[in-house]
């Protein structure tokens, strides 16, 4: 993690750990947020114990918690860690505006804006007014090692709207299911930085600004020296991930 002293390259994905580890409940340790944020200014992930949702927006990270509160991440050495996070230094190559009537519309919109990037990562961002946007925030593990599917089974979801804010997202190709979340994966935070979470449904109010970047290089660091990670069975549970993160 310490090799990259300089500004990270644009539109390269940096990822800490893999979604399959969360599925197996590997969430007791992680990368300090300061190290994650050194790799990018746009991203998402979770916290120790899967306590809430991480959004990284213009270089600032926020934790959106199950109790509805939101706070900036703690960048101190002893502060927040992420057991799973992905970030990029976002430099959009396509910018437009669009009305989006449902979550599925995001996938279709990305297909039309990046038709030559079907089988690679996309980073994207939506800014503007949302008529309704449904967000979940994970409560966190009830016990060490509790798996993602069980944790998300207790999720709180709220529907905001009308609300102004930003969606930060990635789309991963199907063959990366388990490494990342295949398909569209996005987190929202409102302009007041008070409310948001993992996006389950959305409809925009008129047109929002849409920015997209294609990502052709990924860097994945795995958690060295983490016994919980080392001992996890880590079999691919594609259907479990779709249910939990889709």
Site residues, its own copies (CB under 8 A): 3, 9, 18, 20-21, 116-120, 173-179, 214, 216-222, 224-225, 227, 229-232, 234-236, 238
> Looking at beta carbons only, is 205 or 214 nearer to its own copies?
214
Least separation, in Å, of the C-beta of 12 and its own copies? 9
Give the Å distances, CA to CA, from 90 to 8, 56, 179, 213.
Answer: 10, 11, 20, 7
- Smallest gap, in angstroms, from Cβ of residue 176 to its own copies? 7
For the bound state, the minimum distance from the C-beta of residue 156 to its own copies, rounded and expressed in Å, comes to 29
Contact 187, 61 (CB under 8 A): no
State in angstroms the smallest separation of the CB of 238 from its own copies: 8
Rounded distance between C-alpha atoms, residue 26 and residue 47, angstroms: 11
**Torsion-angle region of residue 17: left (phi > 0), alpha (psi -120 to 50) or beta?**
left
Phi-psi domain of 78 (left: phi exceeds 0; alpha: psi -120 through 50; beta: other): alpha
CB nearer to its own copies: give 21 or 199.
Answer: 21
Nearer of residues 27 and 64 to its own copies, judged by Cβ? 27
Q: Which is nearer to its own copies, 11 or 141 (CB)?
A: 11
């Amino acid at each position: 993690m310490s090799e990259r002293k300089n500004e990270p390259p644009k539109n390269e994905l940096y990822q800490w750990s893999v979604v399959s580890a969360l599925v197996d409940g590997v969430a007791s340790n992680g990368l300090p947020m300061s190290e994650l944020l050194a790799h990018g200014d746009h991203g998402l992930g979770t916290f120790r114990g899967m306590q809430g949702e991480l959004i990284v927006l213009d270089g600032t990270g926020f934790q959106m918690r199950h109790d509805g509160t939101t706070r900036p991440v703690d960048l101190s050495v002893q502060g927040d860690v992420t057991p799973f996070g992905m970030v990029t230094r976002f430099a959009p190559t396509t910018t437009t505006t669009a009305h989006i009537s449902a979550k599925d519309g995001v996938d279709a919109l990305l297909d039309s804006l990046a038709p030559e990037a079907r089988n690679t990562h996309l980073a994207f961002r939506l800014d503007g007014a949302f008529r309704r946007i449904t967000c979940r925030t994970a409560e966190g593990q009830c016990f060490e090692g509790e798996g993602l599917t069980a944790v998300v089974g207790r999720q709180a979801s709220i529907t905001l709207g009308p609300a102004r804010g930003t969606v930060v997202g990635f789309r991963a190709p199907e063959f990366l299911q388990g490494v990342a979340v295949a398909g569209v994966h996005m987190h929202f935070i409102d302009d007041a930085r008070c409310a948001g979470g993992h996006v389950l449904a959305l409809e925009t109010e008129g047109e929002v600004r849409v920015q997209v970047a294609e990502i052709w290089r990924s860097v994945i660091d795995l958690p060295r020296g983490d016994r919980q990670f080392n001992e996890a069975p880590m079999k691919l549970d594609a259907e479990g991930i779709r249910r939990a993160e889709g």
